[in-house]
Amino acid sequence: MNILDKIVTDKRKEVALKKTVIPRSQLERSVLFDRKSNSLATALKHSDTGIIAEHKRRSPSKDTINQNTNVGQVAKGYKSAGVCGMSVLTDIKYFGGSIEDLVLARASVNIPLLRKDFIIDEYQIMEAKAYGADVILLIAAVLTKNEIKNLSEFAKSINLDVLLEVHNEEELTKSIMPSLDMLGVNNRNLKTFEVSLDTSKDLSSLIPEDFVKVSESGISSIEAIKSLKNYGYEGFLIGENFMKTDKPGESAHKFIDQLK
Ligand SMILES: O=P(O)(O)OC[C@@H](O)[C@@H](O)c1c[nH]c2ccccc12
């Protein structure tokens, strides 16, 4: 079994258990369920820099990145750096995050927040909304075309933006549908952890114009962003490059200043 299969197997168990502890009807009663969403796709379209900064403590490819973070402070730092949005990893077992991280970020900022997790069930989308997310990530590598359709339409029905992540042409062609707002190309292969920005460049011409294009992972230089912009990318998801420093917000600030 590859790592992605393991993550999804564990995720199915986690979701089944969570459903018994907090039923959907209770999620719907969260005050955040009625909060007006803040669109990440719109923010990216109106930005010259397009940075989406991530909160990530550890990952299966890197182990520890930063265990001493205060997610509320990181959120404030990213906001004052001028990011378009923040991605909050909520997977516990493999990334050291939690759904509470999302609500703590939401308590600190009103910028668009992406719930970054392995979403396989509507329940997790309800949970994302209840804990303050504006956007969900769907990963084509772990979903069928039908699942992508059902989950993205459900997210749209509760006013969440959808970022669909692909890694190759096959995933991309099966996924193109009107219920998505943004198409993200992950430069990291989630099965082997290999990283190459060429993945974004190679797939760019296959993404229809009406989707905001996002390049994800392995981005650490201004040059990388400048070259990805030539391929039509408007969003850049950066985690480790900021999180490996003591002050992720300040690192993001310096980075964004150089982009302007
Ligand atoms: O830390 P990086 O290399 O800048 O990558 C950030 C983000 O793209 C990465 O964390 C990510 C992209 N897609 C994912 C899916 C699940 C978990 C994590 C991810």
Closest CA to 126 of 28, 35, 34: 28
- Dist. CA 197–CA 217, nearest whole Å: 8
How far lies 106's CA from each of 79, 86, 224, 226, in Å?
Answer: 12, 10, 30, 30
Task: Give the helix ranges, DSSP H, for 22-95.
Answer: 24-28, 40-45, 71-81
Q: Is 253 in the pocket of ligand 1 (CB under 6 A)?
A: no
Walk along the chain (260 residues) and give the pLDDT tens digit of each residue: 899 999 999 999 999 999 999 999 999 999 999 999 999 999 999 999 999 999 999 999 988 999 999 999 999 999 999 999 999 999 999 999 999 999 999 999 999 999 999 999 999 999 999 999 999 999 999 999 999 999 999 999 999 999 999 999 999 999 999 999 999 999 999 888 999 999 999 999 999 999 999 999 999 999 999 999 999 999 999 999 999 999 999 999 999 999 99
* Token pair listed for 253: 């600030």
* ipTM higher than threshold 0.95: yes
Is 159 marked active-site? Answer: no
Spot the catalytic one: 175, 186, 200, 251.
186
For the chain, list the domains and their CATH numbers: 3-259 (3.20.20.70)
Q: Is 218 in the pocket of ligand 1 (CB under 6 A)?
A: yes
Tell me which of 186, 191, 225 to substitute to probe ligand 1's pocket, judged by most ligand atoms within 8 Å of the beta carbon. Answer: 186
> Alpha-carbon Rg of the chain, whole angstroms?
17
Tell me which of 8, 55, 56 to substitute to probe ligand 1's pocket, judged by most ligand atoms within 8 Å of the beta carbon. Answer: 56
Ligand 1 center from residue 25 Cα (angstroms): 31
Please count the other Cβ atoms lying within 10 Å of the Cβ belonging to residue 259.
15
Spot the catalytic one: 14, 127, 165, 240.
165
Tell me which of 143, 193, 217, 225 to substitute to probe ligand 1's pocket, judged by most ligand atoms within 8 Å of the beta carbon. Answer: 217
How far lies 54's CA from each of 9, 118, 156, 236, in Å?
Answer: 24, 15, 23, 10
DSSP sequence for 90-150: --STTT---HHHHHHHHHH--S-EEEES---SHHHHHHHHHTT-SEEEEEGGGS-HHHHHH
Q: Tally the C-alpha atoms within 13 A of residue 60's C-alpha that lie toward its C-beta.
A: 17
What three-state secondary structure class fits 88? strand
Q: Is 134 in the pocket of ligand 1 (CB under 6 A)?
A: no
Ligand 1 center from residue 108 Cα (angstroms): 22
Closest CA to 160 of 31, 5, 251, 35: 35
Q: Which residues pair with 161 in a beta bridge?
A: 135
Q: Is 234 in the pocket of ligand 1 (CB under 6 A)?
A: no
- Dist. CA 228–CA 89, nearest whole Å: 24
Q: Are 256 and 49 in contact (CB under 8 A)?
A: yes
- DSSP category for residue 204: G
